[in-house]
Structure 1
Amino acid sequence: MITEWSAGGYDHRMRRRRRPAVIVLLGIDGAGKSTQARRLARTLSAAGRPASSFNNGGGRPLLDALARRLGRRDGPDLLGRRVHVAVEATYRGLAITRALALSRLTGRIAVMDRYVYCQYAVMRLRGDGEARGVRVAYRRFPAPDLVVLFTVPATLAQQRVELRGRDHEDLDRLVAFAEAYRNLPEAPMFRELPASGTPDEVHAALYPLVTDALGRRLDRPAVRPRATHLLRERATRRPTSSRRNVGWLRRRTEARQLHGSSNHPPPRSTR
């Protein structure tokens, strides 16, 4: 059962933060990410927590379709491995940047259908190296409040992709892609969620994970302890600095009065 949330309390507490929450859904093609992202955004909004879903793909369908039209096998075959990685990572990075900007401007929770981890996983799948350059470029993106990895048998995922009728996925590739996700350095922070059931069943299991993550986020302080300490330290320094300035001006004025004029400095010693 989905619990209604107080919109007023949510708005009041969320205003203290610079950015709305970021919820990330991951998984191989056919795992149901896009369906659940859209549904989750609708459910959160209906419960008083405004949310929007964003698709952060790397442009693979477009690049592969273009490659086939030009007589090549796929995007990497058309552009070469290094150029393809640069184009793909840039395409995904721009999508994530747009999603985060819209989320911050509207104040709505960002439900991300794919995120930076998808780029790392697909590069690991293709053997593109350690992705150091891509990780450096992506490090400006915030860490999500929750990352959910949908797990589903590769055979079922392949069937779902075929039913869509837009593209085809090789079974071995899906198996290797799932393994690439599990082998990422960030994998321990992922919450794995079995996604073999119906959309209703998956959503019923997903929603409590999301509300729990959002609740923990609101319980954390709006300002980091280090920043609070610095603000307190600066606040205590200002009066001391002001008293020093006042004392220095008073002593200077008294010294000038002793020499009979406030318009001329005291005579220098001739010794």
Structure 2
Amino acid sequence: MNPTSHQGLFITLEGIDGAGKTTQFEAVVAALRAAGRRVTATREPGGTPLGERIREILLAEPMTTTTEALLMFAARQEHVLRVIEPALLQGHDVVCDRFTDATLAYQGAGKGIPQDRLQTLARWVHPGLKPDFTFLIDVPAEVAARRLQTQQRQPDRFERESLEFFARVRQQYLHLAASEPARWVVIDGTQGLDQVRQDVIQNLRKKLQLHD
């Protein structure tokens, strides 16, 4: 898919586990719908019945890092072909909780798979498709870890990773954001929840020229 060929906008949200990304994802979806735009809200890994089954495996089962990355892209292939590209072509805005930037950060910087290898897979799985706009909800690894400790459920396989792992992931996210400043907006996720949401929505309105 040529990125200029679709009518809808592809918006993604990224951040380390515990950053508060999913809460802001919901705010973005609500703001777009309130503005009268058609929205497809989805997530990765997942987004399709097969993708959700792969997600369950990824979050729970031990596996090699290579297997993990390949499963991420297998789920992504289904997601792109069955959900993301059809919605964009129909004029929907697609808002996705994580996309390939997460793989570059987690499986790449976090777990050591070379970036060029992951980029090759990305070009194979979704040639020409990349987000139009990406929010990075940024918090230090220590802040995210404290937040995860307050959750009323057992942490998944990724949430149990070390502080050092999440520090590497965060730095890669910041590197990606700095390399494409026209696409990324970095939001200080250490602020109060309302302030983070306000910053996200203000930047969304500016980017899309939405009105209150």
Which AA in structure 2 matches 1:66? E
| Matching residue of 1:197 | 191
Inter-CA distance 37–117: structure 2 relative to 1 (3 Å threshold): same
Cross-structure match for 1:128: 113
Are the equivalent residues in 1 in contact too, given 2:14–2:97 (CA < 8 A)?
yes
Q: Which moved more, 1:89-98 or 1:30-39?
A: 89-98
| CA distance in 1: counterparts of 2:20 and 2:194, whole angstroms | 12
Question: Compared with structure 1, are the counterparts of its residues 210 and 64 closer, same or farther at alpha carbon in structure 2 (3 Å cutoff)?
Answer: closer
Q: After superposition, give the CA deviation of every residue in 1:189-218 in whole Å (9 maximum; x if it has no partner).
A: 3221111123321111011211222239xx
Matched, 1:63 2:58: yes
Query: Cα–Cα, structure 1 residues 37 and 97, in superposed 2: closer, same or farther, change >3 Å?
Result: farther
Q: Structure 1 residue runs of 4+, over 4 Å off?
A: 58-61
Distance in 1, Cα, partners of 2:99 & 2:165:
20
Structure 1 residue 157 displacement after superposition: 0.9
- Which of these residues, 18, 36, 45, is aligned with residue 24 of structure 2? 36
User: Does residue 1:187 correspond to 2:196, yes or no?
Assistant: no
TM-score (norm 2): 0.76
1:145 is displaced (CA, Å) by 2.2
Kept in 1, the 8 Å contact 2:138–2:187? The answer is yes
Identity of aligned residues (%): 23
Which residue matches 1:212?
Answer: 206
Partner of 2:10: 22
Unaligned stretches of 5+ residues in structure 2: 47-53
Report how many aligned residue pairs link the two structures. 189
Which of these residues, 123, 132, 137, is aligned with residue 150 of structure 1? 137
Give the unaligned 5+ runs of structure 1.
Answer: 1-16, 68-74, 217-271
Residue 119 in structure 1 maps to residue 119 in structure 2 = no
Inter-CA distance 162–145: structure 2 relative to 1 (3 Å threshold): same
Deviations 1:33-80 (A, max 9, x none): 11111221112212222323211127566335233xxxxxxx21xxxx
Aligned alpha-carbon RMSD (Å): 2.6
String of CA shifts for 1:86-140, please: whole Å, max 9, x gaps.
2222123323444414523653311111111111122322111122431322442
Q: What displacement does 1:182 show?
A: 2.5
Counterpart of 2:135 in structure 1: which amino acid?
V
CA gap of 1:57–1:187, structure 2 versus 1, over 3 A, is farther
Q: Does 1:108 align with 2:92?
A: yes
1:176 aligns with 2:161: no
Secondary structure of residue in 2 paired with 1:140 = coil
Alignment of 1:54 onto 2:42: yes
Q: 1:198-255: per-residue Cα shift (whole Å, max 9, x none)? A: 3321111011211222239xxxxxxxxxxxxxxxxxxxxxxxxxxxxxxxxxxxxxxx
SS of alignment partner, residue 87 of structure 1: helix
